[in-house]
Structure 1
């Protein structure tokens, strides 16, 4: 019985068997690593890739404003009061707008579902005007800007969840190259 575990060179069959298993496992890992490496070459890392349409983002571009400054400001339910957090966003917007005077600014106010149509239109207009006035207070020329309240006409999302609805209580600061029909006569 002892001989059945020994080969002619003094290495036991047991050691030889487990040695072969180790080599097979190592070979398998190397093959898998090679596959993973090849897979990484075939599949680019898109986590840090530029967003589609924003490949050649230039200073002073609309893309730069949207991605680096931010154009949305959110409000509490039923309120047109600019929060401390929103004031920080408005300060960044104002700095950027003062450096990029070629842009006109349409400040669009929005509301969520509770309340009647007229109340939401009024509230969304108050929100837009609050942001416009805050931008003016930061030194942005009022003649470049106008406000429009849309009420609940343009929801970002349509759901009953309270956190979902809060996304509709917003002002969006949009850059324009020319005044549109909602701008006051200039």
Structure 2
């Protein structure tokens, strides 16, 4: 019994010494290692406020839709809310709202659906206070897929609207006065 008690006590003592030793080592190494957890990611250290990079990285420019639908989901509404706040703060940007589709149906049906998706997002931005004179829409249908694949999850990436920032109106914009 005493041999067994000595082994248990020795084990406890060894565990305590190891724990203290490891904790001490951890503390020493933490002092020597800088805290980089919240440091900016490489390549993104100098994102300028109000820049296109800030919009893409911090706000998000893509809104996804269900198959065959131009109805904005509750998740997409959160993205649109963030876009509207940012766009109202950064009035120098024009906005091209580009609709895309990858749904069953003819090419003409896809163009129509993609245009409806773009119009829905533009309307949502206007409802949130973004000046409609700064925006225009274009429906691309299936012309510009993000990915070309057969899997349902892969195809869903093509059912989207992309809110792109522009310095000037392009040829697809209606004539502005």
TM class by shorter-chain length?
0.7 to 0.9
Please report how far the alpha carbon of residue 55 of structure 1 lies from its aligned counterpart in structure 2 after TM superposition. 4.0
Asked if 1:124 corresponds to 2:114, the answer is yes
TM-score by length of 1: 0.72
Residues 43-62 of structure 1 correspond to what in structure 2 (within 5 A)?
50=41, 52=43, 54-62=44-52
- Aligned mates of 1:178, 1:83 — CA distance in 2: 30
> Which sections of structure 1, spanning at least 5 residues, go unmatched?
1-44
Residues 96-175 of structure 1 correspond to what in structure 2 (within 5 A)?
96-175=86-165
Asked if 1:181 corresponds to 2:176, the answer is no
Q: Structure 2 vs 1, CA of residues 61 and 72 (structure 1 numbering), >3 Å: closer, same or farther?
A: same
TM-score by length of 2: 0.76
- Aligned mates of 2:59, 2:124 — CA distance in 1: 16
Q: Deviations over 1:124-174 (max 9, x none)?
A: 000000000000000000000000000000000000000000000000000
> Which sections of structure 2, spanning at least 5 residues, go unmatched?
1-35
- Aligned mates of 1:145, 1:67 — CA distance in 2: 21
Match among 70, 85, 90 for residue 80 of structure 1? 70
Q: Which has the larger radius of gyration?
A: 1
SS in 1 for 2:119: helix
CA RMSD in angstroms comes to 2.0
- Aligned mates of 1:51, 1:122 — CA distance in 2: 41
- Aligned mates of 1:51, 1:115 — CA distance in 2: 43
SS in 1 for 2:67: coil
Please report how far the alpha carbon of residue 113 of structure 1 lies from its aligned counterpart in structure 2 after TM superposition. 4.5
- Aligned mates of 2:73, 2:92 — CA distance in 1: 28
2:68–2:103 contact (8 Å) kept in structure 1: no
Q: Structure 2 vs 1, CA of residues 111 and 51 (structure 1 numbering), >3 Å: closer, same or farther?
A: farther
Please report how far the alpha carbon of residue 95 of structure 1 lies from its aligned counterpart in structure 2 after TM superposition. 0.2
